[in-house]
Structure 1
């Protein structure tokens, strides 16, 4: 494998910001649609989460800031100024942290002024006391300033086994959802600032070829496609499952379920 080669990015998770009150009551909202998995508190002490595990290994992260967090610390957080009740970000992963070097190598020659930070350590402790560690790489512009969350994915690279962080196989009952959802069929991004640093060039560097992603389970079902367009900023998700239709992920946030046929 050459230094320019790269494994297809693996879709890791989708980040949905909610208020702490809504996070505490999320189970009552999704009852009858989705099965909730426990999350935990993040190592920085600012945020806590709960998860929805999908059988393809991708997960949805409902994340909230604690109400008593210092306002200045929240503002300085990557997601501190984002709108609650919306999909705000998403993450890719790779089999090994060392695989990320190929991404950074491609960005050196990419037709874009965006790039990624070097891996930054992170982690959280699960309710059962299990410590999880990972490294995060976030997008930045030519001046080193953070790129708006959601316009480009960040990378979550595990330093402890991913199976500890996302127990979708060991606890497969948590991936069984009343509405039949099994995985994510596609992700599409609308971004109003596409011209700021040539997002198309950035995504060419991210994917290194066709704009498609793998999923942690290794399943090849579905198109697993990514698309980019300009317009009012938004992240759109389309799920696949044993049933088709629409459901309300959060009040006012409606998503589609399609079949794989």
Structure 2
């Protein structure tokens, strides 16, 4: 059996303040994105909306339904809310996912993706699959398996993997209507991870282990090609570098993880449609023209 890819971009996660998802949806629509309803996740803590691209990738606009303080202190509900991996995150780009598998756990308790990555190097460790899901506004129940990096790596530093148990088109309905964006967005051109210079070499080795291919070096930046579910556009890239400007250093200093964070997302748009970068609160988007 052919081993699954470990560098296929699935989606990028954007976090809003609790209860502020509608405001974020409005802001993304003002930027020319077509945003469709997502639903409520199985744990009841978060809800989302989706920006789906024709290459099968998407942006997940997510928020916690309620602030932590709305759950009684010391209650199981509060403990569940506080222990959520995205609970400590600041609003903005917080995480990204590669496509995983929907296969059951192996008898040894490890998962398909984690076995592949963990066998490559001791620099990085992934855990076994954990079940997840979401109910759509229409009442359809979606199910998937999540493979996450071990706790010591943090969340939003290395990708997690999302593998569908129910058909992927239920989770990501790639239709002409859903992928038609007024701003002509076609897909994700790149993700920029900023990292402190002290941690650059280690993170580079870890990303190389996950993707299974060495980085390309361009000036002071490292870059890896990413696959997509549908090869309709030029390849996207995961880009890694240390801060070059005061603005980038300020972003890194304010990040909850202190030494790494998703600083910028590039979006493919039709030739001639690129414009100035969009800087929503805590969110930077750069438009990348497709050269035919």
Deviation at 1:8, TM superposition (A): 5.1
Deviation at 1:224, TM superposition (A): 1.3
Q: Distance in 2 between matches of 1:193 and 1:43?
A: 38
Structure 1 residue 238 corresponds to structure 2 residue 285: no
Q: Distance in 2 between matches of 1:22 and 1:97?
A: 35
Q: TM-score, normalised by structure 2?
A: 0.77
**Mapping for residues 241-252 of structure 1, pairs under 5 Å:** 241-242=269-270, 243-248=273-278, 250-252=280-282
Sort the Cα spacing of 1:240 and 1:249 in 2 relative to 1 into closer, same or farther, 3 A.
same
Name the structure 2 match of 1:198. 202
Name the structure 1 match of 2:143. 133
Native 8 Å contact 1:168 1:175 kept in 2: yes
Native 8 Å contact 2:114 2:125 kept in 1: no
Aligned with 2:119 (options 101, 104, 108): 108
Any unmatched runs of 5+ in structure 2? 72-76, 106-110, 215-223, 244-251, 253-259
Structure 1 residue 182 corresponds to structure 2 residue 186: yes
Alpha-carbon deviations, 1:197-225, whole Å to 9, x = none?
A: 92222212211125221112233x22312
Deviation at 1:54, TM superposition (A): 1.2
Name the structure 1 match of 2:95. 89
Native 8 Å contact 2:131 2:143 kept in 1: yes
Question: Does 92-101 or 48-57 show the bigger shift?
Answer: 92-101
Structure 1 residue 253 corresponds to structure 2 residue 280: no
**Mapping for residues 46-65 of structure 1, pairs under 5 Å:** 46-65=45-64
Sort the Cα spacing of 1:204 and 1:226 in 2 relative to 1 into closer, same or farther, 3 A.
same
Sort the Cα spacing of 1:65 and 1:254 in 2 relative to 1 into closer, same or farther, 3 A.
same
Sort the Cα spacing of 1:46 and 1:8 in 2 relative to 1 into closer, same or farther, 3 A.
closer
Native 8 Å contact 1:186 1:238 kept in 2: yes
User: 3-state DSSP class of the match of 1:198?
Assistant: helix
Alpha-carbon deviations, 1:169-195, whole Å to 9, x = none?
A: 3xx212111111111111221133864
**Highest Rg: 1 or 2?**
2
Deviation at 1:40, TM superposition (A): 0.4
Question: Does 46-55 or 242-251 show the bigger shift?
Answer: 242-251
RMSD: 2.6
Deviation at 1:73, TM superposition (A): 2.6
Native 8 Å contact 2:18 2:65 kept in 1: yes
User: 3-state DSSP class of the match of 1:157?
Assistant: strand
Deviation at 1:12, TM superposition (A): 0.6
Q: How many residues align?
A: 250
Alpha-carbon deviations, 1:54-86, whole Å to 9, x = none?
A: 1111111111112245543322100000002x1
Q: Distance in 2 between matches of 1:152 and 1:252?
A: 20
